[in-house]
Chain A
Amino acid sequence: MDAAQALRELTEVSSQIEAACILDSTGAEVGSTLEDAAARKRFADAARELIAEALGVPHEPGDAPLAQLEAATLEGSAFVVIEGDLAVAAVTRPEPTVGLVFYDLKSCLRAAGTPGNGDGRPRPKARRKEASESAA
């Protein structure tokens, strides 16, 4: 499933999420729920800055990498989930159901990064037939 399809499913599943975008490890936007090109760029740039600043926050015990964040403001909440080479940033109304939003964002990222029918489950790789099997 590609990022655009994963994001479409995300907004269908979660009524709390107003907008979301997916960035790759270089910070490039690979998908967004916004349609206007300028708005997409502003959203992706802002998300990239937030992620970069959050990744720079010193964290002592074990120095485990950042996995996710929630910024709760009076006007709404901003969420980021980082998994593998992808990160998804999303915006919700104020006081969302935090656990549910994180769950939906993780499912979206898994679906976006997984070839298959979009259920987020990794598909088994096709097995190459051994030479002896094919010869038999």
Chain B
Amino acid sequence: MADTKSLYQEVILDHNRKPRNYGTLDNASHRAEGHNPLCGDHLSLMLNLDGERVEGIAFHGESCAICKASASMMTATVKGKTRQDAETLIQEFRDMATGKLDWQKQPHHLGRLTVFAGVRDLPTRVKCAILPWHTLHAAFNAVASTSTEAADDPMHAPIGDA
């Protein structure tokens, strides 16, 4: 059972300290801004699609450790994957974070991303973990900016949804 203690485990702290794919991309084909007005988290995501494949991806912004580590691990995971595979991961990550997916019993493709499963017990932190994934979804769909509070966000997950 994941608890708060295991949320701040070494892999998350490491990705927070040394975020992968941190920075900007020249000639990005898709980009999106994500922000969480409740805590001021802000994320800028850029990617290059080669056909249906994520060839390049980068992010930067100001956020808490959970959000930054989630963005770092997300970019590392989806790089080289197809858009469709990435969309599957977005859905599965969201379901895990909101408690809809029992990652220990049900099939999924999340791999090491299950280190974030603990957020489901912290409703106020679910949005921190999901924000990068919302933003990736928005970038794929060429939505210029997304917010954890936007009503038109197709991934909108209100607190208490968990």
Verify that A and B bind, or say they do not: no
Contact surface of B with A, Cβ cutoff 8 Å: none
Q: Which residues of A contact B (CB under 8 A)?
A: none
